[in-house]
DNA sequence: GTGAGGATGCACT
DNA sequence: GTGCATCCTCACG
């Protein structure tokens, strides 16, 4: 079953936690790929100095101010994309960055499975996510969406830590808004 | 095993 | 022109 809009219309930190263990599905060119979400980060409101929305609404960040359940995909470091899903209510800029997934379906068995999608840039490369998917409605889209699962496995406790790569964000750099499954080998960084 | 440095394009001062 | 919600390679030991 797909996740519905109301799943994303909650407080961002809560959505970030609840997305762990859910499936991210990508269908493109007759091929289906599925990843189990094991690591997320919350970006919460215009006051969050780590968020792209902290400098106001621009063309790039406009989607974050919109309705929950839409994709925010941006291009960074000249060669990578990052995938987020917008949360909360219209007018309040917030999103959850999906940082790593465990490949379940549609991956190349020749590769080290632990390194296929263990990072925001790598998971976008694997799932063929680029800016053409920016502003996609993930509730309605046939090509990219979230699915319910049986849930987090027993013993897979959720841990919280500081977000990665946001040291410039003052006091917001230390907010424990990165969530991941304890001991899971698919997270991008064990901290 | 660890750490430094470079690649690279685009949004925004 | 600046700096980035990253990743890979190559040293080093």
Q: What is the pLDDT of residue A172?
A: 95
Domain assignment present for A189: no
pLDDT at A191: 63
CATH number at residue A85: 3.10.300.10
SS3 content of chain A, % helix, strand, coil (to 5): 20, 30, 50
A117: in domain:
yes
With distances taken from each CA to the C1' atom of nucleotide C6, the closest residue turns out to be A121
Tell me whether residue A187 is in a domain.
Answer: no
Task: Tell me the pLDDT tens digit for each residue of A33-56.
Answer: 999 999 999 999 999 999 999 999
Q: Please state, in angstroms and as integers, the Cα–Cα distance from residue A79 to each residue in A45, A111, A163, following that order.
A: 27, 21, 21
Nearest nucleic acid nucleotide to A120, CA to C1' distance: C6
**CB atoms closer than 10 angstroms to residue A60:** 13
Nucleotide nearest to A55 (CA to C1'): B12
The total domain count for chain A is: 1
Q: Is A74 helix (H, G, I), strand (E, B) or coil?
A: strand
Our measurement of CA A75 to C1' C9, in angstroms, reads 22
Residue A109 binned pLDDT confidence (cut-offs 50, 70, 90): confident
- Does any domain span residue A186? no
Cβ neighbors of A103 (< 8 A, separation 6 or more) are A33, A34, A35, A113, A116, A117, A126
Q: What is the pLDDT of residues A54-107, one digit of tens each?
A: 999 999 999 999 999 999 999 999 999 999 999 999 999 999 999 999 999 999
CB A31 within 8 Å of CB A38: no
Quick check: pTM over 0.85? yes
A52 within some domain: yes
List C-alpha distances in Å: A132 to A72, A145, A162.
10, 15, 30
Residues 6+ apart with CB under 8 A from A132: none
Is the confidence at residue A190, as pLDDT, over 70?
Answer: no
Q: Is residue A57 a part of any domain in this protein?
A: yes
The parent domain of residue A30 ranges over 5-181
Phi and psi based region of residue A128 (left: phi greater than 0; alpha: psi -120 to 50; beta: remaining): left
Residue A153 has pLDDT above 70, yes or no: no
User: Would A85 be classed as within a structural domain?
Assistant: yes
A89 within domain boundaries: yes
């Amino acid at each position: 079953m797909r996740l519905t809009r109301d799943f994303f219309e909650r407080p961002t930190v809560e959505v970030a936690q609840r997305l762990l263990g859910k499936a991210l599905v990508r269908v493109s060119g007759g091929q289906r790929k599925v990843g189990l979400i094991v690591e997320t980060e919350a970006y919460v409101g215009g006051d969050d100095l780590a968020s792209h929305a902290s400098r106001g609404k621009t063309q790039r960040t406009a989607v974050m101010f919109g309705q929950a359940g839409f994709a925010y995909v941006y291009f960074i470091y000249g060669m990578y994309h990052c995938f987020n899903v917008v949360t909360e209510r219209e007018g309040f800029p917030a999103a959850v960055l999906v940082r790593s997934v465990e490949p379940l379906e549609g991956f190349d068995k020749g590769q080290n499975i632990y390194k296929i999608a263990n990072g925001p840039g790598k998971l976008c490369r694997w799932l063929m996510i680029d800016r053409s998917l920016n502003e996609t409605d993930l509730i309605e889209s046939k090509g990219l969406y979230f699915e319910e699962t049986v849930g987090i496995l027993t013993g897979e406790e959720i841990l919280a830590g500081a977000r990665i790569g946001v040291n410039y964000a003052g006091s917001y750099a230390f907010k424990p808004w990165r969530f991941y499954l304890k001991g899971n080998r698919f997270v991008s960084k064990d901290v």
